[in-house]
Structure 1
């Protein structure tokens, strides 16, 4: 990657970092792999904390903690309960509306998370969550709500105690953290260096200067980070003569869209930057994990000592999944997410496994329809997943499913949005006698996405596999394609390849801001009335496994997954 070195970035900021006493560290990006866009980070004592965007995924705004900058543990979500923003999720139509570009800061013993929720009919909803204990979901407050005109809020306390919000544009307003009142009119700070969409501002104070870091050039291959400084927070701001200070635009590098970053210091006084990047190459065609979080340069200051000694009950982001869901008290893992707030009782741990009650909408539904909130999926999909965090991986789950009505279906999916997903289901097919299609229990592959999708395929489930759990599996054995497989859970050697699908289906398109999830679903494909499917069709999932095999660090090079 042709990124500026950490030392040059420090020079650009006019920051004299303490010289490293140890040899500089070398590491591989992304350090927070999988969909983790718009990272914002801060340090408290010896622990680093980062938050990222989640749009309409729920729970929203994950908080990660690390003591070594490489191993990141999910410790909580700032938006983790419906009561914090009642009704807002089900009133969201767009596939990439929702929680945009958080800023995470710490002051006087409290963590503050400022963000904006897009896609409401009455405009953008600004939120400020607060907690003294970021390791506990329940400790995150209900939000203070404000009404901004632009996106990507920063939160900054000046020396006089005033609290400021900078947003896209780049504009500045004072914010009352008790009432949400914003000062008017906004003050224009800086339009950047001429790139489109100056946004993602962060303000820092150092050596008598206010430093303004922004993203510009759009969030695709022209993305970049630029910087300016002023003696006073309101300006005038002077642009750094060697802007941009971070970009891969105009290169043939594997990591593209480099931009939208945040700066923070370690305990030695060294400055680090976390930003987003996409493993796509300049052709920008296949990038199913979307925008991932990367740490400055691949060779920088000496890293803190490697450690996994981080509080909290969530997993580290790069850990494999091994969940059996064999007890009624088995918790749904903290890193599992839903597409919008789920309907009550759709997901539960039972003696038979993770139970999913089917939704009338399938994974596509009618996402652009304004006539039926149920069939559109706006009232929650019966889908739960985890981020694809590895270029090459294997995901599998055992399914117990006994449909009684044609159209009932359960399976697994690579899911980017309702308009970008690759499904492998077990389905009781609808009657199709004229076409000669099977009406027996069958495997079905079905896809929709950025490029032309293959035709759905039905393959009958072998009689010997019936009346027992069936293992469904998705493999990414190369960078361009997923393989969909099925087998008896009791005899994996009898596996069948049901189909293949291009990873381009879940790259960009309706999901250019997000990244792929892999997970399980159940649906009755529109049957029933209201929110209710016909009786039956409930699916149970056990032996949930996700194992990363390799991370690609260039178009031709890979390293083993951590």
Structure 2
């Protein structure tokens, strides 16, 4: 079989849940504060994947206004019971401090494209829920169990309860079926049944460089569960120089011909600081069942950069320039997302062949900001857009941003001085990491005419970021500002302690209007151009 290079879903695609229905494979991944919620990719061969839907796309299903960075949708689980698809997910409203508000929901659909049902509230006792369909028709709901009394962390084990789809609620007794191992921080449960055994796969070790996949089994779904003799079955901790780091949080799938694969999250660090600017990505490993009826990762437990899959991958589109036009009939391209709000009409619209962003709150808001962006999926790339924006003072600004969260971003803006003179100004949080304040003093603004469109661009080559611009009628771009450290756009610099930031770098367009007049910025197009570069040591 062909050798395919990991990851199979590059860029921010964390916490994969994999499913096969007939000849079709699906992977659901976390989206955190980005809207719509949950990404579901489809494949026929495990190598080539296409984004087919984001199912949580209306207010009644998901409203994340006010959710802090790296909260929102955590670790969805996608299953099928022979009749319909089921998706369970957590909407995290708070994660820092002694308490976590983690609300778990269940939706279903006859088809993967939807429409997906109204959410059924399950519980708030922990996060990372999963749904297991047993052979006798019962459905079981498992999630990480949290206990705020525990120190230093609240991870207490894996909670199990029956779900009654007719009643639309959890029923019967609950039990902590697995307390975890010495790896600690047990989460991300998935249940399977094979040859009379119930198998429980979990994630342990946190989301950083000690992450791991743990496997255990029992003859009874209620336990007790015995741990795999060679636990963990997957982890990068034994190979700190391996290309794939932070390996953990997995799920397994069987092919029609009886092979077994494990999908898992991973990170590809760059720089001497081991920063994963592409976030937590999705990789795959071949696995097999031993004579002892335990699952083993082929050549594991360290994840392999290359894996044999049923087909080769076509990387043509991956390396192609993506030029996005804005067509009201087609709507916003599926590569783009926005932040938190289920009311996108308040922050953007497509009119007259332009993306029109409505100036709302600042780029660091947790409530309502006009920011439309796509994932960074390459270590080096160029991006550009053309904006038409006529601000009257310094409280109105719009432009092009390389963005991780409110703590970490770079932003070239068309704004104005207090006297009304239009100017270009770079806003950066680089030097103040991790406080998230703007660099002071700011770079020297560049005065520009008060009328006319402006072409804005940025180039990232590994950890180096350079902005440039051109005025209307000018052909060549001119550099503006100094070279910035793009490597801070990563989990490791996300403004939180270890195991606290979970997304990845984005690039896109933004607009703010603190005057409250909802001034619009009009963007003609957006270009994302991958660049093969010497620093792309681990690129695919």
TM-score bracket for this pair, using the shorter chain length: 0.7 to 0.9
After the TM superposition, which of the residue ranges 176-185 and 392-401 deviates more from structure 2? 176-185
Instruction: Report what 2:282 is aligned to.
Output: 293
Instruction: Report what 1:472 is aligned to.
Output: 456
Counterpart mapping for 1:181-330 below 5 A: 181-183=169-171, 185-250=173-238, 251-280=240-269, 285-296=274-285, 297-304=304-311, 320-325=321-326, 327-330=327-330
* Structure 1 residue 180: Cα displacement: 4.1
Q: Deviations over 1:155-195 (max 9, x none)?
A: 10112211111211122111122444324542222223211
Where 1:82 maps in the other structure, the secondary structure is coil
Distance 2:319 2:118 in 1: 30
CA 320–172 in structure 1, closer or farther in 2 if over 3 Å, else same:
farther
* Structure 1 residue 352: Cα displacement: 5.1
Counterpart mapping for 1:340-419 below 5 A: 340-341=340-341, 342=343, 344-351=345-352, 353-359=354-360, 361-365=361-365, 377-378=366-367, 380-419=368-407
Distance 1:358 1:340 in 2: 16
Is contact 1:363-1:418 (8 Å) kept?
yes
Distance 2:192 2:137 in 1: 14
Unmatched 5+ residue regions in structure 1? 1-22, 309-314, 366-376, 432-438
CA 440–82 in structure 1, closer or farther in 2 if over 3 Å, else same:
same
Instruction: Report what 2:530 is aligned to.
Output: 548
Q: Deviations over 1:201-255 (max 9, x none)?
A: 1111112211111110111111001111111211221111111110001422232
Q: How many residues align?
A: 493
Instruction: Report what 2:149 is aligned to.
Output: none
* Structure 1 residue 390: Cα displacement: 1.1
Instruction: Report what 1:71 is aligned to.
Output: 48
Distance 2:476 2:349 in 1: 31
Where 1:205 maps in the other structure, the secondary structure is strand
Aligned equivalent of 1:128, options 75, 95, 106: 106
Distance 1:259 1:179 in 2: 35
CA 259–495 in structure 1, closer or farther in 2 if over 3 Å, else same:
same
Unmatched 5+ residue regions in structure 2? 145-156, 286-303
Q: Deviations over 1:12-62 (max 9, x none)?
A: xxxxxxxxxxx4x32221110111110101011222101111112110101
* Structure 1 residue 551: Cα displacement: 8.4
Q: TM-score, normalised by structure 1?
A: 0.81
* Structure 1 residue 256: Cα displacement: 1.7
Distance 1:317 1:119 in 2: 34
Instruction: Report what 1:119 is aligned to.
Output: 93
1:427 to 2:423 alignment: no
After the TM superposition, which of the residue ranges 294-303 and 34-43 deviates more from structure 2? 294-303
* Structure 1 residue 556: Cα displacement: 6.7
Q: Deviations over 1:92-121 (max 9, x none)?
A: 342122111111111223111111111179
1:444 to 2:433 alignment: no
CA 156–51 in structure 1, closer or farther in 2 if over 3 Å, else same:
same
Root mean square deviation, CA, Å: 2.6
Q: Deviations over 1:390-446 (max 9, x none)?
A: 111111111111223442111011111122211111111235xxxxxxx63211111
Instruction: Report what 1:3 is aligned to.
Output: none
Q: Deviations over 1:470-508 (max 9, x none)?
A: 21112112x212221112364442432333321233222
Instruction: Report what 1:334 is aligned to.
Output: 334
Instruction: Report what 1:51 is aligned to.
Output: 28
Distance 2:89 2:214 in 1: 22
Distance 1:318 1:271 in 2: 30
* Structure 1 residue 77: Cα displacement: 1.0
CA 163–252 in structure 1, closer or farther in 2 if over 3 Å, else same:
same
Distance 1:114 1:406 in 2: 44
Aligned equivalent of 2:120, options 144, 147, 159: 144
CA 307–281 in structure 1, closer or farther in 2 if over 3 Å, else same:
closer
CA 387–122 in structure 1, closer or farther in 2 if over 3 Å, else same:
closer
Q: Deviations over 1:108-135 (max 9, x none)?
A: 2311111111117994321111112213
Distance 1:107 1:186 in 2: 22
Distance 1:254 1:62 in 2: 25
Q: Deviations over 1:260-311 (max 9, x none)?
A: 0110012222111111111126965422221111112334344246579xxx
Instruction: Report what 1:81 is aligned to.
Output: 58
1:493 to 2:476 alignment: yes
Is contact 1:328-1:349 (8 Å) kept?
yes
Distance 1:520 1:156 in 2: 41
Runs (4+) off by over 4 Å? 120-123, 281-285, 305-308, 315-320, 451-454
* Structure 1 residue 357: Cα displacement: 1.4
CA 183–352 in structure 1, closer or farther in 2 if over 3 Å, else same:
closer
Instruction: Report what 1:9 is aligned to.
Output: none
